[in-house]
Chain A
Amino acid sequence: MRELLRVEGLVTRFYTDEGVVKAVDGSWFALEADEALGVVGESGSGKTVTALSIMRLIENPGRIESGRILFRGEDLLEKPEREMRRIRGKEISMVFQDSLSSLNPTLTIGAQIARVLKYHTRLTRRARWQRAVKLLEAVGIPEPAKRVSHYPHQLSGGMRQRALIAMAISCNPKLLILDEPTTALDVTIEAQIFGLIGELKDEFRMGVFLITHDLSVVASFCQQVIIMYAGKIVEEADVQELYGNPLHPYTLGLLRSIPPLEEEAERLESIPGEVPDLINLPPGCNFSPRCALTDERCWHEEPELAEVSPGHRVACHRVAVPVGVGEIHG
């Protein structure tokens, strides 16, 4: 396997009137080509900002402060905007969550797909349109020749999401970022969409960066998982390891809050408290105010992300780090 993406020490902040929001506060991770990486966390944990930072789509008052984003070995943060425009949509593509607001209401589906092709291919106008029809067919939209000239509001939510995916994969990107692609859809459609993404991933050999808050989706779809909390990665492991041997108290809390299928749960467990204010983060571990296992150290000293077993990293003072396995950075 080849390394497709490596993010090193990414820091993204938003300079608002209320203060500095530390949306992503030092992220380190890597993604292999044709691997699916799941990024899990509550709203405001920095998942989407991480994705937008990779695409260099952070807008004012946000700024990528430091770090490196190596895509196929080249640092995207060093690239001029012009070069980034060539990469966006062609090399790295992104599907957003709300398909209705993410599509231009005044252009037909076909026009929106053909427009992407116009910037990244040398196809003629006619060929672009034909390719748009083919793409709609590939994502399982019935009557693609008719749907291609429909406007977004004329399609159902599931169809629109498929159309958005068709647009995102139109130029065979190497990396596909999916930002909660199924939150607006019902469960059966969700399963269909993930089935489709899985097929496309294998067919086009794409790396997938999947943002979600749904751990069950990750279990069935991804090979590698990152758990984010308040702008930091708190745990990373492959799927089997994370579900079989979760270490961070926050990961444990997330896993416990999934309703069990077999036994009847009296009450669903939840993590007490709420996500901290990203402007006034607590000293020490960000999770300490909500954690049941805290000791003195957790309140004062920020835990580093450390490897506890090969491929399994966790940022927690209360998890015993085996002797000899050092920190992976810094």
Chain B
Amino acid sequence: MSEIIIPDNLKYTKEHEWTKIEGSIATIGITAFAQDQLGDVVFVELPAVGKELKAGDEFGVVESVKSVSSLYAPVSGKVVEANSALANNTKAVNQDPYGQAWMIKIAMSNPAEVDSLLSMAQYEESLAGN
């Protein structure tokens, strides 16, 4: 397996979402490990802008040729943006999971939830158990 990149400026969940915090906005996507496990991604289903999510809610799905995986909100808040460009560029999830393939932006309603997300080191440790 190729080496899995885990940037240290992001927060993570055990379900393999990454979260980038900028003020009260959380940008969310799936990790390099997740896309590597899925293989060729062919469909991404994202929520409508305005949707209210609680931490842990399913907010969408990502389908590869061989399987379908749910996406879970790392934090609570309102969806303020969804990356509609992914619909026609699902390859980005495999090629640039932390950049072009961001999925949604959430205006956080409870920023304290960020503290319970995993750091790079903690996420790396959770992968070692896989």
Q: Do A and B bind each other?
A: no
Q: Taking beta carbons and an 8 Å cutoff, which residues of B are in contact with A?
A: none
